[in-house]
A and B are shown apart, each in its own frame.
Chain A
Amino acid sequence: MRIGVFICHCGSNIGGTVDCARVAELARAFPDVAYATDLMYSCAEPGQAAIEAAIHEHKLDGVVVASCTPRMHEPTFRRTVERAGLNRYMFEMANIREHVSWIGKDKEANTNKAAELVQIAVEKLRRDKPLTAKSFDINKRVLIIGGGVAGIQAALDCADGGVPVVLVEREATIGGKMAKLDKTFPTVDCSACILGPKMVDVAQHPNITLYAYSEVEDISGYVGNFTVKIRKRPTYVDWSKCTGCGACTEKCPSKKTPDAFNEFTGPTTAINIAFPQAIPKKAVINAEHCRQLVKGKCGVCAKVCPTGAINYEMQEEIITEEVGCIVAATGYDLMDWTVYEEYGGGRYPDVITSLQYERLLSASGPTEGHILRPSDGKEPRNVVFIQCVGSRDRSIGRPYCSGFCCMYTAKQAVLTKDHIPDSQSYVFYMDVRAPGKMYDEFTRRAIEEYGTEYIRGRVSKIYPDGNGRLVVRGVDTLMGEQVEILADLVVLAVGVEASKGSPQLAEKLRISYDSYGFFMESHVKLKPVETNTAGVFLAGVCQGVKDIPASVSQGSAAAAKVLALFARDKLENDPQIAAVDVKRCVACGKCIRCCPFGAIKEVEFRGEVKAQVIETVCQGCGVCTSTCPQGAIQLAHATDNQILAEVNALCQC
């Protein structure tokens, strides 16, 4: 081989603490190095031109650049060598900036270390082989998991872009958490009025297939060609016949069914349509509370249904869909706040969650928009809001901020005053976090125009005063004194956690998730909607806490990623993947068992069973290579021989 080595000064970033010319000089002694020099800025245009010129002049067939991290400029230099006619994979980098010049001050040690890093890059390059990407077809359909506002936005943007969308929603209606809200901050506009039309668009869009009351059962395949199994739970109502007229809900005798949509603030009927603007506006029977399904006698809904849509025999159904990429938009749930004994641990009916309060405020809620206390149905006078219940609390393992609670609490305080003019709201807060557009101004209005009293401090105890009210005892850390407020209603700003079942879905999607169940983006700043699994994107709170505008933006961003992917007719794989040496393979199946992607299958080869890598599925992790005892499966560009050569270069007795 004829290898060229280029040592980058990166101005003084490297040159300041590494003797680059000396490193180049040392590199000339390494095996197969035909040319070595130092460059001021190798990534800049003159630097890249110098590399290209050297490739031609010295007939190089491989290049090592020692500069910054390969995580930054590896793609840049791969393109450089490709322009000069080399295979883009005949290139290696030595990281002498982040791993050398920026962390050590001793120039002699740094120079020596840089030279050794160059040497291992040379040893690796000597064993590199030219690789070529393979192309394959894309199935231009997208699966969107979750029909909250993020999923709706992604679905509509994709569908408008001409991409057929399969939207799967776990609940009976799309709309997610936003559909439960009464108003939204900072404009105090009606949530249902702004979300409703979007929901209707979803229902009417010719490119969108909606599976409500359904969950993703299994996902196989890879970017461009996923196969998805969707489990449709039985609704006991044939939705092709149901018109959503509501006759069944009026007559249903099981009137004490818990109402999940209303956050259990009031009862509903066993056959039910979640709310008036539900999409799809179809009835669903709650099997646990339906007299017909539990006791086998009733059948009232079947009698009153004008279209004969009721079917008590309905079974769950598995539907298979083929898609090319997937957007996860599974949203969030509120954490179980009853761990807080100081707030009553759930024993006091008048201590409620903020989402329950939204339902009390909402005209479509159980109180038809009148704020009435759960305990006695009276209007409250003093309403206490407590912030950060399950947020920023290390003691229960939730150190993160739930982000939007400060703002909706201000909104709820404003609405409280609107509903009950002689009421007084108090807010116990840790810090007011209002960084969005018009957010801080809104909080100021809640304080200044609506007279909400903000108390900086935590609540230590809530207990009944014996006369139907609650004593809220806390501390005002700004005044440095204890405070006690007699409250009629206490609203907890309960912290957000990833939606139930997120880790299980992540396993199906083969994406990472953090210890709270939030899905991991590919890069926290630069790739916020991508995941590390090609073809799987994220939108909304499933990736991390965010409010409605951010969720909508991310829904659109995910859709942009989908459309960009589908703008191509063919996809190319990364050729740095594993391959089986059929001679050495004894078909023991260890690699198949360990592969995290199911990318290895058994095939017949000249009458013998052998392992084979599915090139489009392999992601190049190399678990198989370290599993195979006979070294029969090797990961291109991280082969045993390459890593051994690096080890040997560093450890020679």
Chain B
Amino acid sequence: MPVLNGKELRIVGFLCNWCSYGGADTAGVARAGQPTDLRIIRVPCSGRIDPLFIVKALLNGADGVLVSGCHPRDCHYSAGNYYARRRLEVLKQFLPVLGIDDRRFEYTWVSASEGQRWQHVVTTFTDRIHKLGPAPRLEDAEPLLKIADMALTSLRPLGTGQNAALDDLKAAIKAKLPELDCVIGWQQGYDAAHTVPLFMRTPEDVDKLVWGPFNVNNPATYLPSFKGKKVGVVVKGCDSRSVVELLQENLIKREDVTIFAMPCQGTLDMARVNQELGRYSAIDSVSYDEAGVTIVADGKEHRFCMNDYAQGKCYGCTTPSAVLADTRLGVPEAVQPGAFTPPELAMLDAMSLEERLGFWKGQMERCLRCYACRNACPMCVCRDYCIAESREPQWMTQEATAKEKLFFQTIHAMHLAGRCTGCGECQRACPVGIPILALRQQIARAVAQLFDAYKPGLDPEAVPPLLGYELEEKNIHEREWK
């Protein structure tokens, strides 16, 4: 239904039944006049509000979204609003990376007796939205396809890992193999410049194991499908965080998994490597030195220095060696911990909101909706029951618009909040090379800032921040309504 032309903007409210809906009633009973823009959707509890409802509304044309629940401690369901507070705050910090002004979304607490406060909140928020004006629409955004070069500096020297104790690793795997159904690793793919996953069941299989900068796949992705079986997995540091996260979520059992770890010196960004190689018919040779790889393709030599061609995640990697392992070989390089913004995210940070919206418009128009990002993600455990394709519930249509595709990316990112280890499989698997990891990185940054520098995948016993709460949140403060 069209909004009254010129008079109103589209503002959607989600109110908990017990406090804020009652507060809005109280305001009505007191005849406390308010702007008419707001449409209220009544939900049982602010904890019922999936942040994705809000994104849905904003992507579909809402100019503002207002959420209100019971004051902390007053939740009718005792704790629903504590969960809501964390999730909504993460959402608020996430929205700008999409190119949505976070002032268009606000959440607050209004009790059933606070009619005046409700009047004030509605009036202030409606004024704010009118000052911001109609929200820019993804449909109308000018696609921005040019991407600035990412700034690439690493926290530690990157290398090719050719001194790694591969033979010792093979021996260790062979020794354990009789107890295991399978050990997951990497083998050479269709040429020496590519690897594919290796499932080792016999000692001969183990001899195929390779180690080096082409080992880009995250073998942890396969673990949940082996649930109930004894399985080994060879991991890089980043892969091990996915294993920890799977353990934390009860999707694999510690006693079923044997972890073999070697320190990693970085892996190549195959999208950029392939771009540099261009079209070729055969790889003639691949030779390694400490700092990089030289690939000769169709007689032409290409040099890939690790410091220039590593995956974005490798530059800020602080876990070159596994955080959890049964068998460790080799000693990792020391890492100088420091502030680090992943290059994909830094690129978006440098854009204006308008540019970001245009950026995603342009990028999402290229998206094939193949779901490779999801299928490669080790934390996407819904698999066949992903809500992207279900009718019950039906979060998305199958319409191939930038809006729906970006909404899917948001679903993925929000579902990974506090879970994503930044392994980058989504981005690596993307056949058209969209830097979608940036969305997950923004969520991870928000989670770390809000919850004591929490990093997923370090401690199998940790309580994931969005599945817990504090009565008083250290880093979440209610914004005042002035």
Contacts and interface: CB of A to CB of B under 8 A. Distances in A.
Q: How large is the interface on B (under 10, 10 to 19, 20 to 34, 35 or more residues)?
A: 35 or more
A109 B7 contact: yes
A650 B33 CA distance: 22
A620 interface: yes
B139 A653 contact: yes
A98 B115 CA distance: 11
B137 A103 contact: no
Interface string B119-143: 1000000000000000001010000
Nearest to A112: B4
Interface stretch (A169-177, A189-197, A308-316, A631-639): A631-639
A403 interface: no
B113 interface: yes
Contact of B87 (A98, A576, A626, A653): A626
A224 interface: no
Contacts of A652: 1, 60-61
A629 interface: yes
A71 B22 contact: yes
A510 interface: yes
Contacts of A483: none
A647 B41 contact: yes
Contact of A647 (B8, B57, B83, B249): B57
Given A643-B53, A651-B57, A651-B62, A623 B382 contact: no
A116 interface: yes
A318 B56 CA distance: 51
Contacts of B473: none
B80 interface: yes
A520 B31 CA distance: 26
B250 interface: yes
Contacts of B463: 593
A609 to B, nearest CB: 9
A75 B80 CA distance: 24
Nearest to A102: B28
A507 to B, nearest CB: 7
Interface residues of A, number: 76
B21 interface: yes
B370 interface: no
A606 interface: no
Interface in B358-385: 381-383, 385
Given A110-B36, A597-B77, A634 B393 contact: yes
A627 B87 CA distance: 10
A70 interface: yes
B18 A532 contact: yes
A581 B385 CA distance: 11
Nearest to A643: B53
Given A104-B33, A514-B73, A643 B1 contact: no
B392 interface: yes
A99 interface: yes
A113 interface: yes
A584 B12 contact: no
B124 to A, nearest CB: 15
A631 B75 contact: no
B281 interface: no
B170 interface: no
A116 B43 contact: no
B28 A69 contact: yes
Contacts of A629: 382, 387, 415
Given A113-B36, A640-B395, A650 B76 contact: no
A621 B80 contact: yes
A512 B12 contact: no
B436 interface: no
Interface string B17-36: 11001101101110111111
B289 to A, nearest CB: 44
A588 B467 contact: no
Interface string A566-594: 00000000001000010110111110011
Interface in B35-51: 35-36, 39-45, 47-51
A74 B1 CA distance: 26
Given A581-B392, A630-B386, A631-B395, A623 B73 contact: no
Interface string B169-202: 0000000000000000000000000000000000
Interface string B55-73: 0110011100000001001
16 contacts: A69-B25, A71-B17, A104-B36, A117-B40, A120-B39, A587-B250, A596-B78, A596-B79, A621-B45, A621-B76, A622-B43, A629-B387, A640-B395, A641-B393, A650-B39, A653-B60
Given A109-B7, A576-B44, 5 more contacts: A103-B36, A596-B47, A597-B78, A630-B382, A651-B12
| Pairs of residues from A and B, 6 with the lowest C-beta to C-beta distance, nearest first | A98-B28, A622-B48, A640-B393, A621-B77, A630-B382, A651-B60
